[in-house]
Amino acid sequence: MFVLSNETAWCPGCGNFGILESLKNALESLNLEPHRVVISSGIGQAAKTPHYISVNMFNGLHGRSIPAGIAIKLANKALTVIVESGDGCSYGEGGNHFIHAIRRNLDITHIVHNNQIYGLTKGQASPTTARMQKTELQFDGVLIQPMNPISLAIGMGAGFVARSFSGDKTHLSAVIAQAISFKGYALVDILQPCPSFNRINTFKWYKDRIYYLSEDYDPSDILQARAKAEEWGERIPIGIIYRSEKPEYISENPVVRDNPPLVDLPLSPAHAQKFMDDFR
Amino acid sequence: MFVLSNETAWCPGCGNFGILESLKNALESLNLEPHRVVISSGIGQAAKTPHYISVNMFNGLHGRSIPAGIAIKLANKALTVIVESGDGCSYGEGGNHFIHAIRRNLDITHIVHNNQIYGLTKGQASPTTARMQKTELQFDGVLIQPMNPISLAIGMGAGFVARSFSGDKTHLSAVIAQAISFKGYALVDILQPCPSFNRINTFKWYKDRIYYLSEDYDPSDILQARAKAEEWGERIPIGIIYRSEKPEYISENPVVRDNPPLVDLPLSPAHAQKFMDDFR
Amino acid sequence: MDYNILLGGAAGQGVETMGHILAKTLKKLGFYVFLHRDYMSRIRGGHNFVQIRFSNQPIFAHADDLTVIIALNLETASLHYARLVEQSRIIAVEDGDKINTGYGSKIITLPIKQIVQKTGNRRVSGTAAVACALRLFNMPLAPLLEQLKDFFSEEVLLANKTAAEEGYTAAQPLFASNLPNPWENIFINGNEAIAMGALAAGCRFYAGYPMTPSTSIITYLSKKSRQATILVEQAEDEIAVINMALGASFAGLRAMVGSSGGGFSLMVEGVSLAGMTETPVVIVVSQRPGPATGFPTRTEQGELGFVIHSGHGEFPRMVIALRHPEDAFCQTVRAFNIAEKYQVPVFLLTDQYLADYTMTIKPFDFSSISIDRHFSYDAPIEQYLRYKLTESGISPRIIPGKIPGQLVYLDSDEHDEAGHITESAAVRKAMVDKRLKKGEALRSELVEPEYIGSENPEVLLIAWGSTYGPVKESVLLLNARSLPLGALIFGDIWPLPTKELVRLAQNARKIVNLEQNATGQLAALVRQQAMITCHHSLLKYDGRQWSKDEIVDRIMKEVW
Amino acid sequence: MDYNILLGGAAGQGVETMGHILAKTLKKLGFYVFLHRDYMSRIRGGHNFVQIRFSNQPIFAHADDLTVIIALNLETASLHYARLVEQSRIIAVEDGDKINTGYGSKIITLPIKQIVQKTGNRRVSGTAAVACALRLFNMPLAPLLEQLKDFFSEEVLLANKTAAEEGYTAAQPLFASNLPNPWENIFINGNEAIAMGALAAGCRFYAGYPMTPSTSIITYLSKKSRQATILVEQAEDEIAVINMALGASFAGLRAMVGSSGGGFSLMVEGVSLAGMTETPVVIVVSQRPGPATGFPTRTEQGELGFVIHSGHGEFPRMVIALRHPEDAFCQTVRAFNIAEKYQVPVFLLTDQYLADYTMTIKPFDFSSISIDRHFSYDAPIEQYLRYKLTESGISPRIIPGKIPGQLVYLDSDEHDEAGHITESAAVRKAMVDKRLKKGEALRSELVEPEYIGSENPEVLLIAWGSTYGPVKESVLLLNARSLPLGALIFGDIWPLPTKELVRLAQNARKIVNLEQNATGQLAALVRQQAMITCHHSLLKYDGRQWSKDEIVDRIMKEVW
Ligand SMILES: Cc1ncc(C[n+]2csc(CCOP(=O)(O)OP(=O)(O)O)c2C)c(N)n1
Ligand SMILES: Cc1ncc(C[n+]2csc(CCOP(=O)(O)OP(=O)(O)O)c2C)c(N)n1
Ligand code: SF4
Ligand code: SF4
Ligand SMILES: [Mg+2]
Ligand SMILES: [Mg+2]
């Protein structure tokens, strides 16, 4: 169903390949139709993803994948909308949209290829680059603390917060599928090696540290989730860290809720004529 | 020392008056000199504050008080820099600067007049307006969840996170003074009635709900702090909710750390001549 | 007859409300009414006022000369006293003792203490004053009492009615008023007219972030959102606003945004995105004096050059300057049709004056409106190419999600016909040519500026947008004095239609640009696009709108 | 002699490194060297190349004709084969079998298998090829071996040296090269020159957010930040970038920012803030083809109109188009002085071509630089007024925190002399006049465009910025053919200096604008500011820089 392109602009060994394939698996496992799926992406290496898979694409501006994605979903609630971009795009330039998208809790899936670096612009620190890591711009190392998107999302009240790893396609496919199925804003932060520019957080670095949340981990337990969210360093949990149903935006907004998809409504100037009475 | 203006553009009964006075008290209690204090503010009713007190002022753009404030401090570390603005300015338009300022942990004090509404533009929802509250724009009530700036700040790793109330000047003055004394980014979120546009969160509404953190509350206990941060509704804790020393930016950045205030350095073109060797 | 009442006081004293009550009363009586707002950027205190001009003949702008001042505080009287005409009155609601004796017999002091005592309400003085004004013009009280019902809740209605009756008896008729012939009209301001235009055009998505003087557009639309099925979103910032609109438009909705200069500044990267991705969008830029925060509640035409050049890179766009409320309605509808036909951003330039003045006009004509969406999903599609190269430069547009097997790829990078990133020099060139071709085609839509004045003007004024009303009236006044003058007032302004301009310029002795800014942006545009240099500039940039009187004055002094 | 070597391959194959090694080797030999980059927006794969032109006479641009192609992959040879001149060679590092036999005797296939075997390193083929090229030009190997030390770590140095020796023996001298007279020079690109200018001018604060082609400025400055005591901040977004710079400037530092069109779009509200608050700042706009993301790694002059009009409201600014690396250095220093003298934003317009090409030039002259900060804290101050109305429009500026009792109030609202919010029409007018007066005064700083060519040109080319090199060379070429032509190349471009233009235009038969964009933005500006219409436009907008050969060609075809 979902066809992948043979040609990408990615480097050999890049984690993006695993994410692309897992996305395809997830979409297929959910039996979605390509023309009813839209990916809104920004600019960066991660943001090129929708070019390589057969779904609709809004490949907009760096940092702005979220607002476009939100509006696409609002305009046509029959579509499955995925917002997909890099850590720089999602948490740096797009940080304000990120936090406010969580508040809105619209039914979109936010996939972040978190390689802890700016890939496309050749290796500057991203908001998730580790303290003191040297980069192509921070020659003496990064001086500010990295953002923990998992705790931020949980702190802001997100209903679905997951972390996965590009190196485990089975896990990642399943997490993405669940995120898409979740009714509300769902964050999937994906550990993704960038062999070209991040020589610290390599495949092996991640592989050595990740562990899977146990079967009996209860993602609806907020206290446990907060504690898990803080785990980073020697051991990094992957899986659905927090999950709870919250009022989803479409089910709250009468204009979208009580109508067919807005794109399906016919337009007629005469409909507006009645409002003229306001000015008489 | 710090002179207040007799004339303001605020409404009678506004919480801003209490904040202005408390700020003055705090500055005086710290024995600061007016010309060595700078307030960077945005646009809004809160953001007019520095016009009414005798300190240096950078009254910039809506939402942008933080980056200007950061740079002022970096340029002249001898100054006391306060960033002061409204909830809309700080958490809405300026949301991205807010989260990244926390990461940076520069020694500035961020005072937010949180009236849970956009005052100057006449009563639209701010990021902290309650769910289902009706406003001058959200006629059917606000549909998205309010932001909890306290949990967000703690989740992002802020070192000093406090809440106070414009109606208790003693408490507020003390909190502001402590925030200014704190070495690092310090957030003071102030509950502030806006009698003109927020008819829900009135003086009485706040007064009825606030309670003071007890003497034995340990603000360095992150777990407790996270729990306190979530308290909102019937009972609202005020005081220093979280406090812990983290590496402050200036002490990490050799350019600022190892030099006198940068404004004090003499300039000479000849200093740069040595870099010509890079191109030979 | 042509009268002008100023009603002023501090913010929070009910200037707005009382002004609208008075204006609506006059409207109901059948007058042509023009209400102009002057307010400060604060919620309480300061000095705000409205001016209500009315006549039994059509009027198009506010005026400077005052017939009556309704002074809700003393400051109002002293600030505006100088503008009173010979036969005129000040209606004051403060204690008589405090009032400047210099006003002499012009002053009417209402017995406010008694009225407050009688009504038990301290906030009714404005109502009493308005009623008093009606009496001065020898008009009936009943229509006012009727209006009060629309504005006041049950609780305070009676008190206001009583106050009106008291105020009405506090003066004697002084000015002659012939009641006009009844005509069907609406009383609407520029922002409401834009909002109505959007609803008529089938706009289903409006995103905004509050910013004076654009806010009342989103406010009105939000009020109607359920009834009109239009999604109205207040976003976290203006960057989200424009990117949301583009997302909605991509998905198939007619989408619109609005802000003023500062908020629009944050949108210009999105404007460029609209240009590159060929996504239709209508953008209202409601001007106020800049730079930066500037004069939030005042007026200026400072963004013409900025809007025409906004956004990085080169791409076609259309800019329409709105001239009056009826124009605002029609052009808004047209903007949506043009945006979708050419798949370009279309700008509506308005300003605080037009946003906020309210006037009586004929109800809008809905029967003549057509909605042309220019979707091509009826045509059989082989492989859909979002950016297919065509003769006209316009590629077929489909709604994503509607046709199994067909995908829409929208791309902000330079792209090939399918919408995929390219590095090819040839493809780049083809795509630039394609986009610019649309700009050429768009010229066929241009409407020439409206001309008002003598057939062979010796002096040709050129103006644009909201100065329409004052300029029109001043031209009529000067023509009445037999001065051979005319004014071309631009609505469509980018691309600039130049035919009429070139024709009239040929025989004009003097060409004068009249603008509400300090640098003469229209004059610069006309130099650039028509190679015509204005001989004189009339510029005003103190945040207060040109009035007809000021225009006449300065033309007589500087031009003639 | 004037030779041109192209070295190409996929991203990640070391095209950049090998290109620089070769260029630096030639530089050390005393040649005039010009290295031009052409690369894709990707990290691995695709096709990237550099062209290294060298001569024993001064050169100012890249060229199209190729003497040698060094093909790190097969694609390189096939893509550029057509541009080879008659006597020329392709140095290929792939297996001989796979190579197009059509290349005939032009091909030199290096024995890469053996070299790899011998060195035990698979990545040395580029070094072998470069050495082979040197041999073709009959140059010594030693300077290359010297260069290798600067670029390779100990571990791989030996392997590369061995490879160089092997490559050197793989060919015989073919082209005549006269070693030039030694001259003192530096090898620097436009962005490095800007960075050096900033350091020389005493810039102490640079904020940025990575964006091609501006990134190398922040990268260089960051490398030097400790040594030069300049604070270099990567911010969360471009909005923070500009607001940080203004904060730093307010506090008393010289501050600079840089981005390309998209990132700059996000700064324009801040530009307006600089205008209103009269805060000096230097803004580098490094152009790339737009709109939106466009062509990230390619070149265009698309932002002239945008930058001139960027930001809402009206305020003075200066825009300088950089023409070549030496100009970049000098103008950057000048920009800081002018920004502080007039308290305005000053823009430096550059583009990917100039940002990325590296050429040999004389070392910068530091002795002639002066830093003029125009602070007035020496003067006795009664009550400090940040926006004091003065004859020139320029108010005294002090550093906050330095003078007890004196406070600095900076305000983005319209303000009075002290910096407090005003609602007054009169104050507004005075403040607008004050700001615009500075714009008038600034005109005295203008430098006329550089003129190159015949004394009485029949054809007058006008151009701006980075086309300087190609235009200069093409004019010299055409003049050598006795064609009476000249080119006026603008550096200062807003306000536009028009004296020379008007003078030369008078007698020119044809005026032709030559630009790296699709709409002719300079031509539009010249129409507007000098009332001069160009007769013909030479426009290029495929993302690749005009070359001298292309210019000559199109002038002969279209203009003559
Ligand atoms: C407004 C703007 N600023 C900067 C850029 C340049 N830019 C493109 S991609 C990128 C960083 C990408 O990093 P990330 O989002 O982490 O993606 P990655 O390449 O690592 O997958 C930047 C800064 C841009 N395109 N637009
Ligand atoms: C870029 C921009 N967008 C919008 C505005 C309009 N605006 C001014 S103040 C304000 C909201 C103020 O709310 P808040 O920050 O909560 O301050 P308050 O007035 O409530 O104290 C807005 C939206 C602006 N000045 N600039
Ligand atoms: S630069 Fe990094 S993220 Fe980008 S494709 Fe290469 S390895 Fe992947
Ligand atoms: S509008 Fe609200 S916040 Fe602003 S001054 Fe009035 S009461 Fe205070
Ligand atoms: Mg990344
Ligand atoms: Mg507020």
Put simply, the chain D residues between 324 and 363 with a CB less than 8 A from any chain B CB are 333, 363
Neighboring chain B residues of D414 at a CB cutoff of 8 Å: none
Query: How many angstroms away from the CA of C315 is the closest CA of chain A?
Result: 16
Alpha-carbon distance of B65 to B264, in angstroms, equals: 24
pLDDT tens digits, residue range D303-315? 999 999 999 999 9
CA of A116 to the centre of ligand 3 (A): 11
Show which of residues 239-258 on chain A sit within 8 Å of chain D, judged by CB atoms. Answer: none
pLDDT score recorded for residue D379? 60
* CB within 8 Å: B148 and A155: yes
Report which bound ligand comes closest to the CA of A59. Answer: 1
Write out chain D residues lying below 8 Å of A62, CB-based. 262, 293
* C273 pLDDT higher than 80: yes
Q: Which of C309, B262, C299 is nearest to D202 (CA)?
A: B262
Check if A275 contacts C (Cβ < 8 Å).
yes
**Distance between CA atoms of residues D145 and D157, nearest Å:** 9
Tokens standing for D178? 């006269």
Chain A residues with CB-CB distance to B226 below 8 A: 226
Calculate the average pLDDT of chain D. 96
- Ligand 1 midpoint to CA A18 (Å): 20
User: Considering only B193-202, C108-117, C336-345, C550-559, which range has the smallest mean pLDDT?
Assistant: C108-117
Q: According to DSSP H, which parts of chain A are helical? A: 16-29, 65-75, 87, 95-104, 149-155, 169-181, 203-209, 222-230, 249-252, 254-257
**Residue D266 to residue C262, Cβ atoms within 8 A:** no
Q: How far is CA D258 from the centre of its chain?
A: 12
Give chain C positions within 8 Å (CB) of A70. 244, 247
Cα of C277 vs centre of ligand 5, distance in Å, is: 24
D2-168 classified as CATH 2.40.50.140: no
How remote is the CA of residue A102 from the centroid of ligand 4, in Å?
28
Closest ligand relative to B89 C-alpha: 2
pLDDT band at C177 (very low <50, low <70, confident <90, very high): confident
pLDDT confidence tier of residue D121, bands split at 50, 70 and 90: very high
For B213-238, what is the mean pLDDT? 95
Task: Report CB contact under 8 Å: C44, B11.
Answer: yes
List the alpha helices (DSSP H) in D137-237.
Answer: 142-151, 154-168, 190-200, 215-228
Q: Does any CB of chain B come closer than 8 Å to the CB of residue D384? A: no
Q: pLDDT band at residue D157, thresholds of 50, 70 and 90?
A: very high
Which of C212, C223, C234 has its CB closest to that of B125? C234
Burial C216-246 (b: 16+ CB within 10 A, else e): bbbbbbbbbbbebbbbbbbbbbbbbbbbbbb
CB contact under 8 A, A122 and D12: no
β-pair partners for D48: D9
Can you give the pLDDT at residue A102?
A: 98
How far apart are alpha carbons C347 and C339 in whole angstroms? 9
Contact status, residue B106 vs residue B70, Cβ threshold 8 Å:
yes
**In CATH, what class is D187-368?**
alpha beta
Edge-to-edge order in the sheet of strand D459-464:
D450-453, D485-490, D459-464, D510-515, D536-539
Is pLDDT at B57 greater than 70 in this prediction? yes
Q: Which ligand sits closest to the CA of A10?
A: 3
pLDDT at D209 over 80: yes
Rounded to an integer, the average pLDDT of D118-142 is 95
Say if ligand 4 is within 6 A of residue B49 CB.
no
What pLDDT band is residue D520 in, cutting at 50, 70 and 90?
very high
Gap between the Cα atoms of D4 and C178, Å rounded? 89
Q: Residues 276-315, chain C: which have Cβ within 8 Å of A?
A: 277
User: Which of C40, C231, C236, C244 is best to mutate for the B interface (most B CBs within 10 A)?
Assistant: C236
How far are the Cα atoms of A149, C121, D58, D458, D502 from residue D478, in angstroms, in the given order? 61, 89, 17, 12, 23
Q: What are phi and psi of B43, to 5 degrees?
A: -130, 140
User: Which comes out higher in pLDDT, residue D156 or C380?
Assistant: D156
Give Cβ neighbours of residue D495 (< 8 Å, ≥ 6 apart): D318, D439, D442, D443, D446, D529
D129: Cβ–Cβ under 8 A, 6 or more apart, which residues?
D7, D18, D70, D71, D72, D91, D93, D110, D167
* A100 shares contact with chain C (CB less than 8 Å): yes
DSSP codes joined into one string, C121-152: -TT-HHHHHHHHHHHHTT--SHHHHHHHHHHS
Q: How far is the centre of ligand 1, averaged over its atoms, from the C-alpha of A86 (Å)? A: 8
Contacts for A208 with CB less than 8 Å, ≥ 6 apart: none
Residue D61 has pLDDT above 90, yes or no: yes
Which residues of chain B from 216 to 235 reach within 8 Å of chain D, CB to CB?
none
User: What is the predicted pLDDT for the residue at D380?
Assistant: 65
Answer whether residue C381 shows pLDDT above 80: no
Please indicate whether, in this complex, the C-beta atoms of A61 and D293 are within 8 angstroms of each other: yes
* Residues of C with Cβ-Cβ distance to D426 under 8 angstroms: 542
- CATH number among 3.40.50.970, 3.10.310.30, 3.40.30.10, 1.10.10.10, domain B16-277: 3.40.50.970
Say if ligand 1 is within 6 A of residue A228 CB.
Answer: no
CA distance A190 to A174: 13
Q: Among C553, C434, C445, which Cα is nearest to C492's?
A: C445
Q: Which residue of B has its CA nearest to C226?
A: B140
> Residue type for C232, please?
V
The pLDDT of D70-92, averaged and rounded, is 95
Q: Sort out which chain A residues have CB atoms less than 8 A from B96's CB and list them.
A: 93-96
What pTM does this model have?
0.98
Q: Which atom of ligand 4 is nearest to the CA of B10?
A: 5
Check if B67 has its Cβ closer than 6 Å to any atom of ligand 4: no
The minimum-distance atom of ligand 2 relative to the CA of C262 is: 1
> Which tens digit of pLDDT belongs to each residue from C497-544?
999 999 999 999 999 999 999 999 999 999 999 999 999 999 999 999
Q: Please, what's the b/e burial string for D376-393 (b: 16 or more CB within 10 A of its CB; e: otherwise)?
A: eeeeeeeebbbbeeeeeb
Highest mean pLDDT among C111-120, D284-293, D367-376: D284-293
Do the domains C187-368 and C450-559 sit in the same CATH topology, yes or no?
yes
What is the tally of helices (H) and strands (E) in chain B?
A: 10, 8
With a pLDDT cut of 90, the percent of chain B lying above it is: 99
> Under CATH, what is the fold of the domain C450-559?
Rossmann fold (3.40.50)
Contact C236 B95 (CB under 8 A): yes
Q: How many C-D residue pairs are in contact by the CB < 8 A criterion?
A: 212
Domain boundaries, chain D: 2-168, 187-368, 383-445, 450-559
DSSP C22-41: HHHHHHHTT-EEEEEEE--S
With a CB cutoff of 8 Å and minimum separation 6, the contacts of A233 are A209
DSSP per-residue letters across C427-461:
HHHHHHHHHHHHHHHHGGG--PPEEEE-SS-SEEE
Decide if pLDDT at C379 tops 70.
Answer: no
Assess whether pLDDT exceeds 80 at residue C376: no
- Which tokens is B97 given? 């600067």
Q: Is the pLDDT of residue A98 over 80?
A: yes
Write the CA distances from B264 to D64, D252, D375, integer angstroms. Answer: 51, 9, 13
Q: Is the CB of B196 under 6 A from ligand 2?
A: no
Task: Please report the pLDDT score of residue D377 as a whole number.
Answer: 61
From chain B residues 160-179, the ones with a CB under 8 A of any chain A CB are none
Determine which residue's CA is closest to atom 24 belonging to ligand 1. A62
The Cα angle at residue B223 between residues B220 and B226, in degrees rounded to 5:
95
Least Cα separation, residue A196 to chain D (angstroms): 8
Report the nearest-CA residue for atom 10 of ligand 2.
Answer: B44
Q: Whose alpha carbon is nearest atom 26 of ligand 2?
A: B62
Q: Is B3 on the interface with D (CB under 8 A)?
A: no
Tens digits of residue pLDDT in B4-37: 998 999 999 999 999 999 999 999 999 999 999 9
Pair of tokens at residue D347:
């823009």
Which whole number is the average pLDDT over C427-443? 98
Neighbours of chain C (3+ CB pairs under 8 A): A, B, D
CA atoms of D126 and D164, how far apart (whole Å)? 9
Q: What is the mean pLDDT of chain C?
A: 96
Buried b (16+ CB within 10 A) or exposed e, C403-420: eeebbbbbbbbbbbbbbb
Please work out whether the CB of residue A87 comes within 6 Å of at least one atom of ligand 1: yes
Nearest to D194 by CA among D255, D284, D263: D284
- Residue C94: the pLDDT is 83
C-alpha span between C371 and C353 (Å, rounded): 29
Of D199, D243, D255, the CB nearest to B60: D243
Rama region for C186: left / alpha / beta (φ>0; ψ in -120 to 50; rest): beta
Query: Which ligand ends up closest to the CA of B94?
Result: 2
**Whole-angstrom distance, CA of residue A82 vs CA of residue A73:** 9
Report residue D335 CA to chain centroid gap.
15
> What pLDDT, in 10s, does the model give residues C209-241?
999 999 999 999 999 999 999 999 999 999 999
CB atoms within 10 A of CB A7: 9
φ/ψ of residue C486, rounded to 5 = -150, 165
Nearest to A164 by CA among A128, A210, A197: A210
- From D380, D374, D415, select the one nearest D395 (Cα to Cα): D374
Q: How many helices (H) and strands (E) does chain C have?
A: 19, 21
pLDDT digits (tens, 9 = 90+) for B122-133: 999 999 999 999
Task: Copy the structure tokens of residue B169.
Answer: 């000047």
A115 CB near ligand 3 (under 6 Å): yes
What mean pLDDT do residues A224-237 have?
95
Q: Which ligand is nearest to the CA of A91?
A: 1
Tell me the pLDDT tens digit for each residue of B69-94. 999 999 999 999 999 999 999 999 99
